[in-house]
């Protein structure tokens, strides 16, 4: 199985629409539109075009040639400008094969190489154990917990805050 990150562009629009319409939304914010239309995809691809490589990195997760996931690191502003937020989603038939663990490793390396950041943050709902494992396998540290911060589908959940610091430069370089 080959797992690659590729820039989003118009040629992947239908993959994006299929991914977002088929997504398991249990642990996602409600801001992802449903149904996810071509207009939604156009808006998002425009945003990617504007920000990619400047204050964020946005990639399709391509497995054996097909875009089956999305992974992004979006920069923050003001005093948080050295921080950025990681997010990801994978089509359900591809879960449990190590794909997002590998995609996360690739995007974090790329982000620290290309953007002037000190850290990457990820926020995860307490019951989302798969996402927490993905982060922990990539060296993210659980830094804090906001109690009852998330209200989704009539349930209150804690929000876990994970962080990954930029690797130290080699002291002898
Ligand atoms: C979270 C998500 C991206 C994980 O992707 P994935 O490619 O299946 O993840 P991986 O296979 O790389 O790793 C998953 C890990 O979680 C573990 N896991 C899965 N379900 C679990 C559960 N219920 N409890 C404990 N661990 C669990 C797996 O065993 C694996 O860990 P291991 O390698 O130590 O065995 C995917 O489930 C998804 O798209 N979910 C919906 C969207 C979402 O939640 N996005 C994140 C928002 S913060």
pLDDT digits (tens, 9 = 90+) for 89-128: 999 999 999 999 999 999 999 999 999 999 999 999 999 9
In ligand 1, which atom is closest to the CA atom of 91? 39
Pairing between β-strand 84-90 and β-strand 3-7 as defined by DSSP bridges? unpaired
Dist CA 163 CA 107 (whole Å): 14
Q: What is the pLDDT of residue 172?
A: 56
Q: Is the pTM of this model over 0.75?
A: yes
3-165 — its CATH code?
Answer: 3.40.630.30
Nearest Cα to Cα of residue 89 among 130, 48, 138, 45: 130
CB contact at 8 A, 152 and 125: yes
Q: Which atom of ligand 1 sits closest to the CA of residue 27?
A: 44
CA distance 129 to 111: 24
Identify the helix (H) or strand (E) that includes residue 134: helix 129-137
Residue 37 DSSP label: -
How far apart are the CA of 104 and the centre of ligand 1, in A?
12
- Rounded Cα distance between 57 and 151, Å, is 28
pLDDT tens for residues 38-94? 999 999 999 999 999 999 999 999 998 899 999 999 999 999 999 999 999 999 999
Interatomic CA distance for residues 19 and 98, integer angstroms: 18
Q: Which residues line ligand 1 (CB under 6 A)?
A: 24, 27-28, 88-90, 95-101, 124, 128-131, 133-134
Distance 133 CA to ligand 1 centre (A): 6
Instruction: Compute, in angstroms, the gap from residue 101 CA to the centroid of ligand 1.
Output: 8
Inter-residue contact 8 to 71 (CB < 8 Å): no
pLDDT band at 168 (very low <50, low <70, confident <90, very high): confident
- Domain residue ranges in the chain: 3-165
């Amino acid at each position: 199985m080959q797992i690659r990150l590729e820039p989003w562009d118009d040629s992947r629009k239908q993959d994006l629409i299929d991914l977002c319409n088929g997504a398991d939304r249990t642990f996602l914010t409600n801001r992802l539109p449903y149904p996810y239309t071509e207009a939604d995809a156009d808006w998002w691809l425009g945003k990617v075009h504007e920000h990619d490589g400047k204050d964020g990195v946005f990639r399709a997760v391509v497995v054996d040639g097909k875009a089956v996931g999305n992974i992004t690191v979006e920069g923050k502003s003001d005093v948080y400008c050295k921080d950025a937020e990681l997010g990801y989603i994978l089509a359900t038939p591809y879960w449990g094969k190590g794909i997002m663990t590998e995609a996360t490793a690739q995007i974090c390396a790329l982000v620290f190489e290309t953007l002037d950041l000190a850290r990457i943050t990820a926020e995860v709902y307490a019951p989302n154990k798969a996402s927490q494992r993905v982060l922990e396998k990539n060296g993210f540290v659980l830094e804090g917990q906001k109690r009852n911060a998330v209200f989704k589908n009539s349930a209150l959940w804690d929000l876990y805050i994970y962080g990954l610091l930029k690797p130290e430069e080699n002291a002898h370089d």
